[in-house]
Amino acid sequence: MKAKRNIGGWFEIYVEDMERAMNFYQYVFDDVNFNDLTKENGQMQLFEWEDHFSGAGGALVKMEFNKPSPNGTIIYFNCDDCAVQEARAREKGVKILVPKTPLPHFGFSALLRDSENNTIGLYSLK
């Protein structure tokens, strides 16, 4: 029998302006750091990631073949209380699509646009 595992393993958030995007994510998630993995075909800033924590790794990416979009896949970021990150995002002037809302039996979520106009989600148990 095959061992069960989480299917999600990596995500990329496409950006137009790397510095603006890094500033947004560092402000909203005040403990986030990046590792530069820029290559000749594009810029990439990896969200700091450690193997012993759960969740998928990911990066902010600027490449010619893919652009930010509010209509793409939505990534939900875990938070202690998504109202905190929602408020910080609002301070950056982004659009809050759905404010902190209770999910039946699953905690709370919020949806917003990031600095690059991607739709992202926030999730917390409280």
**pLDDT tens-place string over residues 15-46:** 999 999 999 999 999 878 999 988 777 899 99
H/E segment holding residue 117:
none
* 53-79 per-position pLDDT tens digit: 677 888 999 988 888 998 888 999 999
* CB-side neighbour CA atoms (13 Å) of 50: 4
Question: Smallest Cα–Cα separation from 95: which of 72, 68, 116?
Answer: 116
Kindly report whether the global pTM for this prediction surpasses the value 0.75: yes
The 10 Å CB-count burial string (b at 16+, else e) for 13-23 is bbbeebeebbe
DSSP 114: -
**CATH 3.40.630.20: does it fit domain 10-124?**
no
Roughly how many angstroms between the first and final C-alpha of the chain, as a whole number? 37
